[in-house]
Structure 1
Amino acid sequence: MRRTTVTTLVVALIAGLVGIALMPRVPRLGPHTTGDAELADAARAAVTDPSGHRGLAVALVENGRIRTAGLGDRDPAGRPVEPGTPFEIGSVTKTLTGMLLADQAATGVVHPDDALESTWPAVTGPLREVTLAELASHRAGLPRVALGSPLAWAHLMWANVSGGNPYAGQDVDTLRGTSDRVSPDGGRGEVHYSNVGVSVLGHALAAKAGVAYPDLLHTRLLRPLGMTATVVATRTDDLPANRAQGSRASGRPLDPWTGAGYAPAGIGPWSTAEDLARLAAATLAGTAPGADAATARFREDGDTRIGYGWFTTRHGDREVVWHNGATSGFRSYVGFERATGRAVVVLGNTDRGVDPIGRRLLGLSEREAGAAAPVVPGWIGAGLAVAFTFLGGLSLLGTARRRELDRVTLLAASVWAFAYLGLAHRMGDWSVVPAWLWPLGAGLSAAGVALAATRWRALPVLDARVPWRRLLSVASSLVAAVLAVAAVSD
């Protein structure tokens, strides 16, 4: 018995040491600096906690002059971020779609109060009655997202777990079909953020022009502003070269999002700090096509109003026009203040928010800038890290000590011990929980395996009154463990 205990402890110690080499590595804003050194220093000073950030691209517009800088790394390999490094910009794209509406209205192609059916006749459901202005300002009474079928929702859930692209396969026809099945609810006329509404708006404007949304965007907005590095990646082949790699703040790499259906709302567009600075500068100056989209028209709450895509928020006696973006592994912020003539762009390649950095660069105090809202409550990510790290090992140790036991049961418990470790590694928020807990969990699981090995030869293969039922139960458990590991593997 004593020999078994010593062997178990030795195995646990070795596994723990190996686990140190494999434990989660939380990104931290690196020392690399490119571009304007003074701006880079100001951006670093605006980052209250560098943990959870990997790289940032920033731009500042003052008195019509654009300055840009890159900070940290664009990928885990340590290649530096440059001012021209492409990032996913997410919902910042909604401002571009709103500006397309303002531009097309200015040229007389459409009117903001036109009903959707006059712009995109292919939409035949209840949504055809909403106006273009309602779609642009999130006042059409539509849900945030509507993927249509149970299979699409299942894919969305799987992608959220696996770090994949939840919008894969959502093309323009899929979105149009979805729009025929949704109806404006009782919140019509009030601001309720909707990716569906802005996506429908973008494709409606493109249909009116007889082109695809990316082509309309390029012709009417990107090319006139010289935004040559901005692309809409509707397929993986469209992804820009030398782009940043997105990840969780805990370090887990994530797939880029592509897809034509939700492109006008922010699925697929990539840009750079340089390009978005051109957009912000021209919008601030009123010279950009559709710059009037930034005019606040409708109230969201006591401090915030909305135009066509752009929000305007009061911070004390100051007013900032802005929009942010969030995809699975990127965050973005574009804002400007008319009173000071200053505009800012901040792009990050983790899911740690960058809005406070942008507001600090605009000159707001740390209190006024606030803190970045977490993707999920911190206790969830921390709970997953701790629970999954120790659950498998503790369960295996308990199983291995049972008096009535068989090999099949012991094998399933052993597989789950390491499956839980994989889940903890990938799904836990290690920017909140100390990463050294993970090697302790690895040692605990290894100790359970060592104890199981000492009993293996003396156990029957299967000990159950109904063998086929027991085999089916264990087989399904093993399949679930394999799927769990597959879901969180790169």
Structure 2
Amino acid sequence: MRRTAATALLVALLAGLVGVALMPRVPRLGPQVTGDRDLAAAARAAVSDPKGHRGLAVALVENGRIRTAGLGDRDGTGRPVETGTPFEIGSVAKVLTGMLLADQAAAGVVRPDDHLGDTWSTITGPARDVTLAELSSHRAGLPRLAPGSPLDWARILWSNVSGGNPYGQDVDQVRAAGERVDPGDGRGEVHYSNLGPALLGQALAAKAGVAYPELLQTRLLRPLGMTATVVATGDGDLPSGRAHGSRAGGRPLDPWLGAGYAPAGVGPWSTAEDLARLLAATVAGTAPGADAATARFREDDDTRIGYGWFTTRHGDREIVWHNGATSGFRSYVGFERATGRAVVVLGNTDRGVEPIGLRLLGVPEEEAGAAAPVVPVWIGAGLAVAFTFLGGLSLFGTVRRRGLDRVTLVAAAVWALAYLGLGHRMGDWSVVPVWLWPVGAGLSAAGVALAATRWRALPAVDATVPWRRVLSVASSLAAATLAFVAVAA
């Protein structure tokens, strides 16, 4: 027994040392600076904690003058963020879609009170009766995402585990999703939706007889000189020199691509420079569809909404804004009409950047921090700790069981390693000490060592009905294999 314990301890120590070399690498905002150094210093001072950020691109508009800066690195290789580095902008695209509505209304092509079905003649179902204004202001009573089939939800779950793209729907699939929903009792109240702006953008494009990216280019991007802003519906559309996204815990993530939800924020990429041009022209009232930023409907005591743009009061300041969040990027654009100041902040991890933008607009630190989206960090922390130790502890329990057999022991050992990989890839190690992962690796390795000492004395299958045991273990091993594939993706 002493020899076995000593062997397990030695294996645990060796595995722990190897685990130190393999443990998660948490991003941290690097020292690199490009562009305006004073703006970069102000942005860095607005970052409450550099851990969890990797790179930032910022722009500030004052008195019609645009200043830009890059901080940190774009992809974890040390290449600096430059002022023209493209970032995924997520739901910031919703303001572009809202501005398209205002532009097309000003041109007499549509009216905000037109029904969806009158604008997009091929769509059916109860959602035909919602108006374009309701879609752009999240007042159409539509869910955040359309309910899908079990296969759709399984795909979304797999993308969350593997870090892949959950939004691959084309335009027809988004239209079909809109046909399945009923606006219900929530119509007329602000309930944030991705489906609503997606339907709006596709309806405007259908009315114009072109695809959404072409409509956006023709009516908004080209007139403003936003040459670096693109809608990536496939891998070939991704901009060169782009930033690469990751979780705040370090895991690299795939970009989001897909034509269907493009008007809501799946696929658009832009730069701090380009978005600053948009803000400068919107503040000046010269941008196509600039009237979209006018607050028309009330969400609560502090926030109103126009066509895509939110207007929120922070103390004595009133900020017009929108943010964006994809799996590996965060974005924020905002401006204050009273001062004419506007700001863009783009980040290439899933750590929020809203407080940085508000601080650069002059909002006090306490109020800026309170305005950040509430993110349940305990979920990522819990996944990190639970997965890292669950497999090893379970293996220890299995090794001590009576009536054990080899197939069960193999499954427990494989799961110990699979859980370790899941903890490494899915845990938020920006809020959990990273040294816990090598400890978990040592625990799992010790369990494997103890399992090896029992191997010779165990039967291959110990069960009254052997095929049932084999089938159960085989399914368990298949699930563990899927977990390995997901974390290795």
1:379 paired with 2:385, answer no
CA contact (8 A) 1:163 1:254 kept: yes
Render the CA deviation track for 1:214-256: whole Å, top value 9, x for unaligned.
0000000000000000000011111111111111110111110
468-477 or 390-399: bigger deviation: 390-399
Q: Within 5 Å, give how 1:23-34 maps onto structure 2.
A: 23-34=23-34
Aligned partner of 1:97 in structure 2 is 97
2:33 and 2:114 map into 1 onto residues whose CA distance is 48
Name the SS of the counterpart of 2:98 in structure 1: helix
Structure 1: stretches of 5+ with no match in the other structure: none
Matched residue, 2:307: 308
2:131 aligned residue: 131
Superposed CA deviations along residues 15-36 of structure 1, whole A, max 9, x for unmatched, are 0000000011111101111111
**Matched residues in 2 for 1:423 and 1:305: separation?**
41
Number of the residue aligned with 1:172: 171
Point out 4+ residue stretches in structure 1 off by more than 4 angstroms: 371-376
Contact 2:332/2:346 (<8 A) preserved:
yes
**Residue of structure 2 equivalent to 1:156:** 156
The residue that corresponds to 1:271 in the other structure is: 270
- C-alpha separation between the residues in 2 aligned to 1:399 and 1:175? 48
Alpha-carbon RMSD: 1.1
Distance in 2 between residues matched to 1:21 and 1:148, nearest whole Å: 42
Map of 1:239 onto structure 2? 238
Preserved CA contact (<8 Å) 1:353 1:372: no
1:49 aligned onto 2:52: no
Q: 1:450 and 1:90 mapped to 2: Cα distance?
A: 47
Residue 402 of structure 1 and its aligned partner are, at CA, apart by 2.6
State which drifts further: 454-463 or 24-33: 454-463
Distance (Å, rounded) in 1 between the aligned partners of 2:127 and 2:237 = 31
Give the distance between the partners of 1:18 and 1:202, measured in 2 at CA. Answer: 51
Identity of aligned residues (%): 81
Letter in 2 for 1:445: S
* 1:454 Cα deviation from its structure 2 partner: 1.5
Report the secondary structure of 2:331's partner residue: strand
Partners of 2:196 and 2:379 lie apart in 1 by 30
TM-score normalised per structure 1? 0.98
Where does residue 447 of structure 1 map in the other structure?
A: 446
Shift of 1:488: 2.2
Greater CA drift, 368-377 or 83-92? 368-377
Q: Which moved more, 1:123-132 or 1:348-357?
A: 123-132
Q: Distance in 2 between matches of 1:429 and 1:375?
A: 15
Amino acid paired to 1:47: V
Q: How far 1:147 moved relative to its partner? A: 5.0
The aligned amino acid for 2:124 is T
Tell me how far apart the structure 1 counterparts of residues 93 and 393 of structure 2 sit (CA, whole Å).
47
Q: Taking structure 1 as reference, are residues 439 and 372 closer, same or farther at Cα in structure 2, changes over 3 Å only? A: farther
How far, CA to CA, are the matches of 2:252 and 2:78 in structure 1? 14
Which amino acid in structure 1 is aligned with residue 275 of structure 2?
Answer: L
What whole-Å deviation, never above 9, does each CA across 1:302-347 have from its counterpart, x for those lacking one? 0000000000001111100000000011000000001111000000
Any idea what the Cα deviations from partners look like across 1:259-315, whole Å, max 9, x if unmatched?
A: 010000000000000000000110011000000000000000000000000000011
Normalization by structure 2: what TM-score?
0.98
Aligned to 1:69: 69
Distance, in Å, in 2 between the alignment partners of 1:475 and 1:371 is 49
Q: CA deviation at 1:104?
A: 0.7
CA distance in 2, matches of 1:465, 1:149: 39
Counterpart mapping for 1:285-434 below 5 A: 285-371=284-370, 373=372, 376-434=375-433
1:6 and 1:157 map into 2 onto residues whose CA distance is 42
Equivalent residue number for residue 262 of structure 1: 261
Residue aligned with 1:19, SS: helix
Report the Cα distance in structure 2 between the residues aligned to 1:259 and 1:89, rounded to whole angstroms: 14
Instruction: Report the counterpart of residue 187 of structure 1 in structure 2.
Output: 186
1:352–1:374 contact (8 Å) kept in structure 2: no
Distance 1:488 1:203 in 2: 35
Give me the whole-angstrom Cα distance separating, in 1, the residues matched to 2:51 and 2:371. Answer: 13
Moved more, 334-343 or 177-186: 177-186
Q: Is the 8 A contact 1:143 1:196 kept in 2?
A: yes
Deviation at 1:176, TM superposition (A): 1.0
Instruction: Report the residue type matching 1:148 in the other structure.
Output: G
Q: CA–CA distance in 2 between the matches of 1:423 and 1:56?
A: 28
In 2, Cα distance between the equivalents of 1:301 and 1:19?
49
**Deviation readout 1:392-416 (Å, 9 max, x if unpaired):** 1111122222333221111111111
Corresponding pairs, count: 489
Shift of 1:374: 6.2
CA shift, 1:372, in A, is: 6.7
Matched, 1:485 2:470: no
| SS across alignment from 2:28 | coil
Distance 1:226 1:82 in 2: 19
**Separation in structure 2 between the aligned mates of residue 376 and residue 358 of structure 1, nearest angstrom:** 18
Are 2:388 and 2:419, in contact at CA under 8 Å, matched by a contact in 1? Answer: yes
Shift of 1:116: 1.5
2:163–2:253: 8 Å Cα contact kept in structure 1?
A: yes
Contact 1:233 1:259 in 2 (8 A): yes
Report the CA distance shift for 1:42/1:137 in structure 2 as closer, same or farther (over 3 A).
same
User: 2: CA distance between counterparts of 1:376 and 1:345?
Assistant: 21
Question: Which AA in structure 2 matches 1:467?
Answer: P
Unaligned 5+ residue runs, structure 2? none
Q: Return the alpha-carbon distance in structure 2 between the equivalents of residues 160 and 236 of structure 1.
A: 19
Q: Is the partner of 1:186 in helix, strand or coil?
A: helix
Q: Which amino acid aligns with 2:365?
A: E
Residue identity in the other structure for 2:103: D
Q: Which amino acid aligns with 1:137?
A: S
Moved more, 240-249 or 390-399: 390-399
The question of whether the paired residues in 2 share the 8 Å contact of 1:351 and 1:375 is answered with: no
Q: Residue 373 of structure 1: CA displacement?
A: 4.5
Aligned to 2:227: 228
